[in-house]
Amino acid sequence: DLTSAQADFQNLTADGQTPIFLAEDGKLIGLFGVADQVKEDSADMVTALHQMGKEVIMLTGDNDQTAQAIAQKVGIKRVISQVLPQEKSRVISDLQAEGKSVIMVGDGINDAPALATADIGIAMGSGTDIAMESADMVLMKPNLMDVVKALKISQATITTIKENLFWAFIYNILSIPVAMGVLHLFGGPLLDPMIAGLAMSFSSVSVVLNALRLKRRKV
């Protein structure tokens, strides 16, 4: 008869713990809960990702009530619970089929298939070897805010690449005709080949200097 333990069961699940019943000879002799400790920076990471316009989803094998309790603590709005390792991979594939780019963060053996399926798999350095082998990126420090930093660095890198391509195209579109002597056809000066070579070198140097700005960027 588990009636007497129902209240304790509900309290444990509401607190984000997984209840475990202990019985002997068919009689309940104990009830206790186990839970993973929520990292102190989990809520900060979720908040930062929301501010960046990212959707955060909790994907877990825990029961729904326990998962919802933990999600509420850290500010996650969408929870997909009671999923097996293979189902985690399927959920990610479904999200990708919706046209979404998916980043999976995990550290356990059960996360390995999902880490391999995601567009970018990020494993914690304190996790299992198979998780780190399946991931595209491994965070050496157990700091979840490094996930946010990695995204910001990635976005800054893409922006810098686009800037470099834009200015390189503009520079060449304007400079190549001048180097070919177009201005001379209309009575303008004829560009010395040495000056044209220096101008081309300046273009390369400016691209490199723009890229080096990433080293001074604070995230």
DSSP-assigned letters across all residues of 101-131: --EEEE-SGGGHHHHHHSSEEEEETTS-HHH
| pLDDT score for 160 | 94
Phi-psi region of 13 (alpha: psi -120 to 50; beta: other; left: phi over 0): alpha
What pLDDT score does 1 carry?
A: 56
pLDDT at 191: 74
Rounded CA separation 78/106 (Å): 17
Ranges under pLDDT 50 in the chain: none
The pLDDT of residue 90: 95
How high is the pLDDT of residue 114?
94
pLDDT of residue 91: 96
According to the model, what pLDDT value does residue 115 have? 94
Domain 42-147 indexed as CATH 3.40.50.1000: yes
The predicted pLDDT at position 120 comes to 95
pLDDT at 2: 65
Q: Which pair of tokens denotes residue 95?
A: 């999200």
CB 78 within 8 A of CB 58: yes
